[in-house]
Amino acid sequence: MNYYQKELVLQEKDFINDELSPYSILNYFQDIAGIHADKIGLSHEELIKNDLVWVVLRNKYEIIKMPSINQKVILKTWPHQKGKIDFDREYAIYDENNNLLIKGLSKWILMNYKTRRISMFNNIKYSFECLEETNFENKFNKIEDFDINNFSFIETTTSENDLDINGHVNNASYARIVLNNIDFDITINHFEINYIKEIKANQKLKIYYLKKDNTYYIKAFNNEEVIFVLIVY
């Protein structure tokens, strides 16, 4: 099974001011990725037998046309061939007439649950054909580092509700944390985040942000360590 798709109806709770929220989009993506991983024999339950878990390194999406509340959509995902240490996985959300509404891409790695280190794929066996179809001409553009001088900032603390099955803050939860603390005055049509270092519950985040030319540049720290870098526009 080289791809998986399912139908769903978008719920009002997933929208903010009639716009599908970044948290909801990333949540849809990770949910369908998990379902597909189960079906191709790479589920959490199978991997944890070898002390391995899936972890997201990067996420991006682009909204072509904003969906609406209670709209029925088709959510589709497919993985690419594995790299040396990572898998790229694509996503697409279509309307009932197969018009593309949202396209997305994520980069996944395997992490040893006990050592918290990246693991190679050498001991992982799978048998399925990967699609070469891609949503983006350039998969991941490098997010250039930026100086946080003159940035505004907020401080917050992570909670148990932010965690996932791997015991760290879930990739989608970072979007919710940002949205709960920064008042964006734009419609977010492009979202790209790099997860630099994992963080757990009850840890402080200092989130710096700056709007320039209709783009928000965001960088979050725990003490002196960068946790994630995010660009939205």
**Three-state secondary structure of the chain:** CCCEEEEEECCHHHEECCEECHHHHHHHHHHHHHHHHHHCCCCHHHHHHHCEEEEEEEEEEEECCCCCCCCEEEEEEEECCCCCCEEEEEEEEECCCCCEEEEEEEEEEEEECCCCCEECCCCCCCCCCCCCCCCCCCCCCCCCCCCCCCCEEEEEECCHHHECCCCCECHHHHHHHHHHHCCCCCCCCEEEEEECCCCCCCCEEEEEEEEECCEEEEEEEECCEEEEEEEEC
The pLDDT, as a whole number, for residue 127 is 67
Higher pLDDT, 226 or 144: 226
The mean pLDDT of 148-173, rounded to a whole number, is 97
The pLDDT, as a whole number, for residue 123 is 66
> The CATH number of the domain where 178 resides is what?
3.10.129.10
For residues 15 and 74, state if they share a domain. Answer: yes
For residues 107 and 17, state if they share a domain. Answer: yes
For residues 188 and 112, state if they share a domain. Answer: no
For residues 178 and 100, state if they share a domain. Answer: no
Flag whether 74 is in a domain: yes
- Work out whether strand 204-212 and strand 152-157 pair parallel, antiparallel, or are unpaired: antiparallel
The pLDDT, as a whole number, for residue 64 is 98
**Residue 139 pLDDT greater than 70, yes or no:** yes
| Residue type (1 letter), 115 | T
Phi then psi for 34, rounded to 5 degrees?
-65, -40
For residues 103 and 8, state if they share a domain. Answer: yes
The pLDDT, as a whole number, for residue 214 is 96
The mean pLDDT of 14-36, rounded to a whole number, is 97
Segment 77-136, tens digit of pLDDT: 999 988 888 989 999 999 999 999 999 999 999 999 999 999 987 767 766 778 888 999
The mean pLDDT of 170-197, rounded to a whole number, is 97
SS3 8: strand
Flag whether 100 is in a domain: yes
Of 36-50, 97-111, 208-222, minimum mean pLDDT range:
36-50
Report the number of distinct structural domains present in the chain.
2
For residues 93 and 161, state if they share a domain. Answer: no
Flag whether 37 is in a domain: yes
For residues 115 and 9, state if they share a domain. Answer: yes
Flag whether 227 is in a domain: yes
The pLDDT, as a whole number, for residue 124 is 72
Name the residue with tokens 């996944």.
108
User: How many residues does the structure list for the chain?
Assistant: 233
The pLDDT, as a whole number, for residue 143 is 84
The pLDDT, as a whole number, for residue 97 is 98
The mean pLDDT of 161-167, rounded to a whole number, is 96
Q: What percent of the chain lies above the pLDDT cut of 70?
A: 98
Query: Residues 6 or more apart from 17 whose CB is under 8 A from it?
Result: none
Token reading at 89: 């996985």
Of 16-20, 83-87, 113-117, 178-182, minimum mean pLDDT range:
83-87
Model confidence at 36, pLDDT cuts 50, 70, 90, reads very high
Flag whether 126 is in a domain: no
Q: Determine the structural domain holding residue 18 and report its residue range.
A: 4-119
Flag whether 138 is in a domain: no
